Amino acid sequence: MNNRVAFITGASRGIGRACALALSEAGARVVLAARNREKLGEVAQEIRSAGREAFIVDIDLASHESIKAAFAKAHAEFGATEVLVNNAGVTKDGLAVRMKAEDWHCVINTNLTGAFTCTQQVLQSMMKARWGRIINISSVVGEMGNAGQANYSASKAGLIGLTKSLAQEMGGRGITVNAVAPGFVQTDMTGVLSDEMREKLLANIPLRRMGDPKDVAAAVKFLASEDAAYVTGHVLDVNGGLYM
């Protein structure tokens, strides 16, 4: 990963932050992208204090123009993106029978369309270099579904389909495209679970614990590395055995 440029969306917290730190430790120059500039600044400071390079860009995954501007700024500062981690995502949970159209579109536009638009920004340069790593952060619910999350599950399942299609399109150009499907990881998104819900959840996880963002980051670091040069179109489950 020496001096490779890695662009991570949703890098201000949780899984995105862990991925940024892991890739930086592996030698990458990281572009930290999210909406919360203050939180991004904290992550950047942590990386820079270790003597490594980080650059911050604002990004709104629901806005095509915001995405284009973010990648243009990153390119001007660090050069072409060589590793893309499509991590940013939102939830707007609710039963399908009552789900508002805007909640459906918000989640699909951010989690799926946003990831696709980000990917489009890096394909030309990766094809020219004949090297690239695209890693989409899906979810266990994109594989098994989840009541009350029709929009989120559909967006994460869509990322898996996108991953496999891109892997077929880009393989001949030396670009690998893979997905990581985390289970329930201890982040702000799962922090709202009640103790009762948490206990019920843990009972269905063979490893009997929630995941840590570092567990997911380790998988991302592997897929971004030369060790994964012959891995593409794969969905790597990091879920403690919740779904097999």
Catalytic residues: 152
Cα separations in angstroms, 129 against 46, 83, 132: 30, 12, 8
Of the candidates 96, 165, 174, the one whose C-alpha atom is nearest the C-alpha of residue 136 is: 165
**3 in the Ramachandran plot: left (φ > 0), alpha (ψ -120 to 50) or beta?**
left
Q: Measured between alpha carbons, how far apart are the two ends of the chain, in Å?
A: 31
Cα separations in angstroms, 147 against 46, 150, 187: 38, 7, 20
Can you spell out the DSSP letters for 36-53?
-HHHHHHHHHHHHTTT--
Cβ pair 140, 237 in contact under 8 A: yes
